[in-house]
Structure 1
């Protein structure tokens, strides 16, 4: 077992222990160290008095408060240590308490406190060493190095603690940003699902209502037309169920499966069928016009174009009382512009409900724009402009 494996749990337990208990234990340890001269006299002829022991104890006992009042503790120890040296009964061999308070101030004190204390101790060591008999040069170096080393270790601990705090703060901020991104992604996904559900159900129900209202009128006069109306209702319902199954399959994280009916969502290739079905079901004259060379689009843009046409035609059926509707796709190198125009009652009826809001959200999500308003010859017009990427996608079909 390596030394690191042995020390790691000890250091971890030390850091998580009660700080006051740790400081009290540290003070007791320093008091024992400064009392060794009385416990094991060196025989150098230094007198040992109880007054000297009390002064030595004054360099250790204040360490109990080193974290609660670091500068005050340092001042008390800074006075008691040279007092012991001057009293000389006996002089201090090692400045245990001084090294502890210098470490503490360097690690926790304010800038002026730690700088003042470091300068004071360096000067104090030089001055008090003059009162020691038979002092040698290496003793000066030892005491000065003790002061500088304790201060350097405290500064190192200060830097390490600041670095750890910065890492913890960064981790906390990253966690908050991750939580915010997750919440935003969930909100965007809920909005997308809500748009899809609205477009699918509103479109299907509108067609079904139109056919259901016409059914009783023609059921006696024109049975074949009534039968066609009921067939259109059934077809609209089946189409809605098929698209809802696709959405539910995505929510369940199931892979698209052609045999189970969960095909990829409709795109530009499905627009002719959509325009034709709406015209046949609602009795509208519908037309799809295409200008320019069709370009490959991302899947999201494909779906957005389909849903915009679906929502615009649904509004035409529900609100406009129109007789015809025209869908135009204008392809350029960088953009595709979709325009849906009808000859109905105009924008005063369509308003700004969930469908039009969802339409603008779809366009914005694909990096495009959407405009709604009156057509050039009356009626209502929806214009959507979406970007065409430079050949990195393949079209759905």
Structure 2
């Protein structure tokens, strides 16, 4: 039986098996009958003992009642003993037991306790429509019973009223127990659903974090590896380059490879931990755009930065990080597909009007060696800008160059 969120193994004995069965979806789907718990055995024995005590009390009343012949008293006692034994079947056939004991109650005093227990069990385990029919018939038969078997010392109206109230009380108590169990099942079901939803939300958050890490990995490594590719290609096509230029290119290659390995090591560590990176290096913002441009210039690119934002620190970190990644991807693409051109990076905007980022390069001179690329960088940037509430456009210009232009909200 599956464990429920709120019931520990040590406490399961305290709950009825029917409730545990309803709380166990595997058992319910398999159609297995619930096994009696220790509490069930204790309750069943108490019900049997109560039925026996009521029957013994009725035997003494039969002996003092002159309206009951000796033969009928013996038959009454036999019937009462069978009814008390049938109490052990109340969990398996609650409706059948209540229906069977209803006519016996007309002729048997000693089966009265078993009949009340059967009504109580029916109210606990079956819907109200069954309880209403069987309970209504029992209440209607009370006057007939005391008309056939009048009490010796109790007036007829008092006996009928007392028996009727006792029957209604047994049914009401059973319905109360049923409502309480249904409430507990409902609360347990809500707790189970809340656990499931929380787990799904956690998995979704982890998946989104991993997707964000993958985007960061593409943006960062593409920038680093493009530097490696460009300078390695320059060394390959210019073996006669001056020693100073060769040394500078080798230094850029070494530094870019070192930083790429460090970034990759951090990203792999985050993916292994399955958690977002809260302890690594700070994420870049718009204030780091000058450093990015300086790094590109050191790598040999011709980059002009037109930074018209008065206070870059005032830009929200998420917007600034997106703007930084857009500029980084634009410079990476320009370095791959238009080497040697003058690249212009323009950043403008004010609070309320939004932030505009533009990366433009003219057409390259001469033939450019083919550089492999899947176009996923621009697709990822478009998605990043859309998620930030902005938009991104990219494509060739009428003069033959290429432009990446993005607008991001800055409230």
1:198–1:9 Cα change, 3 Å: closer
Give 1:161 deviation, angstroms: 1.2
Give 1:246 deviation, angstroms: 6.0
1:121–1:38 Cα change, 3 Å: closer
Q: Choose the corresponding residue for 1:342, options 341, 361, 371.
A: 361
Give 1:382 deviation, angstroms: 2.3
Give 1:51 deviation, angstroms: 1.4
The equivalent residue for 1:372 is 394
After superposing the two structures, state which structure 1 stretch, 183-192 or 375-384, moved more: 375-384
Check the 8 A contact 1:31/1:57 in 2, yes or no. Answer: no
String of CA shifts for 1:45-103, please: whole Å, max 9, x gaps: 4555331123223533443333333222111011111122xxxxxx35x8312221222
1:118-197, aligned counterparts within 5 Å? 118-131=135-148, 132-134=150-152, 135-136=154-155, 137-197=157-217
The equivalent residue for 1:3 is none
1:344–1:22 Cα change, 3 Å: farther
Check the 8 A contact 2:76/2:107 in 1, yes or no. Answer: no
TM-score (norm 2): 0.76
1:63–1:349 Cα change, 3 Å: farther
Q: Choose the corresponding residue for 1:69, options 93, 112, 120.
A: 93
The equivalent residue for 2:343 is 325
Q: Choose the corresponding residue for 1:267, options 281, 285, 302.
A: 285
Check the 8 A contact 1:338/1:383 in 2, yes or no. Answer: yes
Distance 1:14 1:169 in 2: 17
1:43-54, aligned counterparts within 5 Å? 43-45=63-65, 47-48=69-70, 49-54=73-78
Check the 8 A contact 2:51/2:117 in 1, yes or no. Answer: no
TM-score (norm 1): 0.79
Give 1:115 deviation, angstroms: 1.2
Give 1:352 deviation, angstroms: 5.6
C-alpha RMSD of the superposition: 3.5
Q: Choose the corresponding residue for 1:362, options 384, 399, 402.
A: 384
Q: Choose the corresponding residue for 1:311, options 329, 338, 356.
A: 329
Secondary structure in structure 1 of the residue aligned to 2:344: strand
Secondary structure in structure 2 of the residue aligned to 1:59: helix
Q: Which runs of 5+ in 1 are unaligned?
A: 1-7, 85-90, 257-261, 390-397
Distance 1:145 1:311 in 2: 84
Distance 2:374 2:180 in 1: 58
1:242-257, aligned counterparts within 5 Å? 243-244=263-264, 247=267
| 2:210 counterpart of 1:210 | no
Q: Show structure 1 runs of 4+ deviating over 6 A.
A: 8-11, 248-255, 348-351
Q: Choose the corresponding residue for 1:116, options 125, 133, 138.
A: 133
Give 1:163 deviation, angstroms: 0.9
After superposing the two structures, state which structure 1 stretch, 128-137 or 34-43, moved more: 34-43
After superposing the two structures, state which structure 1 stretch, 361-370 or 110-119, moved more: 361-370
1:352–1:200 Cα change, 3 Å: same
Distance 2:400 2:90 in 1: 85
Distance 2:321 2:349 in 1: 16
The equivalent residue for 1:81 is 105
| 2:240 counterpart of 1:225 | no
The equivalent residue for 1:101 is 118
